[in-house]
Structure 1
Amino acid sequence: MSNAVLENRPAVPEEIPTFTATLVIRRFDPEVDLEPRWESFDVVMGGTDRVLDALHKIKWEQDASLTFRRSCAHGVCGSDAMRINGRNRLACKTLLKDLDLSKPISIEAIKGLPLEKDLIVNMDPFFESFKAVQPFLIASSKPEK
């Protein structure tokens, strides 16, 4: 039998480091704007946060009119696709800490589709092309029961 004395102390979770990120977002509201404009937001974020978390924080705490798509938040659905620092990425999969935080993070809607509002594009042309290409298997016969 051990002579060790167990202390009953609550575990202290390690603190997640925080930092300020500047997001420069290309905004467009068809009811107000003639052309898209850039708007800057500063947000305090944690080391495990993703671009989608920063967008939520801006929407909930700074500007409720910010408009973007999101769904599963796990990189499966692709609904939060956008251009982040000039590259097409998923906001839910892009860690803020992996970006160069010494300069503003630019965020804009993906290119090649009609812009509807802020970070939302009209996906109809994409789905029409998708249907025309038929990127899936088509059975030549009906399955047996």
Structure 2
Amino acid sequence: MTLESPPIVTTSGFCRLQLRAEPAQFGDVRRIVGAHLRLWGRSGLVDAAAMCVTEILANVHRHVNPPECELVLENMPEGVRAAVGDQSGELPVVIEEVDWFAESGRGMFIVANTANLWGVSPTAGGGKQVWVLLREGV
């Protein structure tokens, strides 16, 4: 995995990774997400968090050149927040009527229907951060 810095791992509930959104490395990212959530006692959110992060990273890979981004995981009282920031101002699009047989176009639909909350926040320099909040037992 191409990381600009090693992951920051703490039991306090915060992790930041600088990475390239390359599909060959998405499995490694899912394992990192899963390890942090298990460490924080949030095992019930691992599958949803790994899937949402992967879908957002796939958008970075497809739409941002170069596909450099930052993944931030936060263990919060209300749930786990996962956010992917990049330098593109292009906003993600949720297609309301998904073509399940198409090669692409389902990712943000899946994210929007998996996360309890999701959104996009602008970042310095014209970029954005796409985030999800996942809650257990909701």
TM-score, with normalisation over the residues of structure 1?
A: 0.30
Which is higher, the Rg of structure 1 or of structure 2?
1
TM-score, with normalisation over the residues of structure 2?
A: 0.31
- Which is richer in helix? 2
